[in-house]
Amino acid sequence: MTIAAYTLAVLLDLFCLFLGYRFWFQPAPAAAGYGVPADPAGDAGAYLSVKGGRDATFGLVGLVLLALVGARAEAWFMVCVALVPLLDTVTVLRHGGTRAVAFGIHFATAVVVLGCAALLFAA
Protein backbone atom coordinates (compact mmCIF):
# COMPACT_ATOMS: atom_id res chain seq x y z
CA MET A 1 0.00 0.00 0.00
CA THR A 2 2.92 2.36 0.67
CA ILE A 3 4.14 2.14 -2.92
CA ALA A 4 0.63 2.84 -4.24
CA ALA A 5 0.21 5.82 -1.89
CA TYR A 6 3.53 7.40 -2.82
CA THR A 7 3.06 6.70 -6.52
CA LEU A 8 -0.40 8.27 -6.58
CA ALA A 9 0.82 11.27 -4.58
CA VAL A 10 3.73 11.87 -6.97
CA LEU A 11 1.44 11.50 -9.99
CA LEU A 12 -1.08 13.97 -8.57
CA ASP A 13 1.69 16.46 -7.74
CA LEU A 14 3.17 16.12 -11.23
CA PHE A 15 -0.30 16.56 -12.71
CA CYS A 16 -0.62 19.85 -10.81
CA LEU A 17 2.70 20.97 -12.31
CA PHE A 18 1.41 20.01 -15.76
CA LEU A 19 -1.80 21.98 -15.22
CA GLY A 20 0.22 24.99 -14.13
CA TYR A 21 2.36 24.75 -17.24
CA ARG A 22 -0.69 24.40 -19.45
CA PHE A 23 -2.47 27.43 -18.00
CA TRP A 24 0.68 29.50 -18.44
CA PHE A 25 1.66 28.40 -21.95
CA GLN A 26 -1.61 27.12 -23.49
CA PRO A 27 -4.24 29.16 -21.64
CA ALA A 28 -7.16 28.92 -24.12
CA PRO A 29 -7.20 25.10 -24.37
CA ALA A 30 -6.54 24.81 -20.63
CA ALA A 31 -9.51 27.06 -19.83
CA ALA A 32 -11.74 25.09 -22.20
CA GLY A 33 -10.65 21.85 -20.53
CA TYR A 34 -11.33 23.39 -17.14
CA GLY A 35 -14.94 23.81 -18.20
CA VAL A 36 -15.21 27.58 -18.48
CA PRO A 37 -13.68 28.82 -21.74
CA ALA A 38 -11.97 32.20 -21.56
CA ASP A 39 -10.29 34.59 -23.96
CA PRO A 40 -6.65 34.74 -22.80
CA ALA A 41 -6.10 37.88 -24.90
CA GLY A 42 -8.74 39.70 -22.88
CA ASP A 43 -9.02 40.36 -19.19
CA ALA A 44 -9.19 36.63 -18.45
CA GLY A 45 -5.52 36.13 -19.39
CA ALA A 46 -4.30 37.31 -15.99
CA TYR A 47 -6.71 35.00 -14.16
CA LEU A 48 -5.59 32.04 -16.23
CA SER A 49 -1.99 32.80 -15.27
CA VAL A 50 -2.97 33.02 -11.61
CA LYS A 51 -4.65 29.63 -11.84
CA GLY A 52 -1.57 28.20 -13.52
CA GLY A 53 0.69 29.59 -10.82
CA ARG A 54 -1.57 28.23 -8.10
CA ASP A 55 -1.69 24.75 -9.61
CA ALA A 56 2.06 24.59 -10.22
CA THR A 57 2.75 25.76 -6.67
CA PHE A 58 0.51 23.05 -5.23
CA GLY A 59 2.39 20.43 -7.25
CA LEU A 60 5.79 21.70 -6.17
CA VAL A 61 4.84 22.00 -2.50
CA GLY A 62 3.38 18.49 -2.58
CA LEU A 63 6.57 17.01 -4.02
CA VAL A 64 8.74 18.85 -1.49
CA LEU A 65 6.56 17.74 1.44
CA LEU A 66 6.62 14.14 0.30
CA ALA A 67 10.38 14.15 -0.23
CA LEU A 68 11.47 16.09 2.84
CA VAL A 69 8.78 15.61 5.49
CA GLY A 70 6.98 12.39 4.61
CA ALA A 71 3.66 10.75 3.93
CA ARG A 72 1.74 12.18 6.88
CA ALA A 73 2.52 15.79 5.98
CA GLU A 74 1.65 15.09 2.34
CA ALA A 75 -1.62 13.48 3.46
CA TRP A 76 -2.67 16.57 5.43
CA PHE A 77 -1.62 18.76 2.52
CA MET A 78 -3.81 16.70 0.19
CA VAL A 79 -6.78 16.99 2.55
CA CYS A 80 -6.42 20.77 2.40
CA VAL A 81 -5.77 20.88 -1.34
CA ALA A 82 -8.92 18.80 -2.01
CA LEU A 83 -10.84 21.98 -1.30
CA VAL A 84 -9.56 23.44 -4.59
CA PRO A 85 -11.26 20.96 -6.96
CA LEU A 86 -14.40 21.13 -4.80
CA LEU A 87 -14.48 24.90 -5.28
CA ASP A 88 -13.66 24.40 -8.97
CA THR A 89 -16.80 22.25 -9.19
CA VAL A 90 -18.87 25.14 -7.89
CA THR A 91 -17.08 27.62 -10.15
CA VAL A 92 -17.79 25.60 -13.27
CA LEU A 93 -21.46 25.24 -12.33
CA ARG A 94 -21.83 28.95 -11.51
CA HIS A 95 -20.26 30.09 -14.77
CA GLY A 96 -22.14 28.06 -17.33
CA GLY A 97 -20.05 24.92 -17.45
CA THR A 98 -21.64 21.51 -17.77
CA ARG A 99 -22.47 19.21 -14.90
CA ALA A 100 -20.44 16.51 -16.65
CA VAL A 101 -17.28 18.61 -16.43
CA ALA A 102 -18.04 19.91 -12.93
CA PHE A 103 -18.61 16.48 -11.45
CA GLY A 104 -16.75 14.26 -13.91
CA ILE A 105 -13.52 16.23 -13.69
CA HIS A 106 -13.43 18.51 -10.67
CA PHE A 107 -15.51 16.62 -8.10
CA ALA A 108 -13.92 13.33 -9.20
CA THR A 109 -10.50 14.93 -8.74
CA ALA A 110 -11.40 15.91 -5.18
CA VAL A 111 -12.43 12.33 -4.47
CA VAL A 112 -9.14 10.98 -5.90
CA VAL A 113 -7.11 13.51 -3.88
CA LEU A 114 -8.93 12.54 -0.68
CA GLY A 115 -8.43 8.86 -1.52
CA CYS A 116 -4.72 9.52 -1.96
CA ALA A 117 -4.68 11.28 1.42
CA ALA A 118 -6.31 8.24 3.01
CA LEU A 119 -3.69 5.95 1.44
CA LEU A 120 -0.91 8.22 2.70
CA PHE A 121 -2.35 8.22 6.23
CA ALA A 122 -2.39 4.41 6.09
CA ALA A 123 1.18 4.15 4.75
- In a structure prediction context, what are the per-residue pLDDT tens digits for the chain, which is 123 residues long? 799 999 999 999 999 999 999 999 998 889 889 998 876 566 677 888 899 999 999 999 999 999 999 999 999 999 999 999 999 999 999 999 999 999 999 999 999 999 999 999 999
Q: How many CB atoms lie within 10 A of CB 16?
A: 23
CA–CA separation, 18 and 84 (whole Å): 16
The distance from CA 78 to its chain's CA centroid, rounded to whole angstroms, is: 10
Query: Total domain count for the chain?
Result: 1
CA–CA separation, 70 and 103 (whole Å): 30
pTM: 0.90
DSSP state of 26: S
Q: At what angle do helices 108-122 and 2-25 cross, to 10 degrees?
A: 140
Which residues constitute the domain of residue 31? Answer: 2-122
The helix/strand/coil state of 1 is coil
> Positive or negative CA dihedral for 82, 84, 85, 86?
positive
Please calculate the CA angle 29-116-12 and round it to the nearest 5 degrees: 30
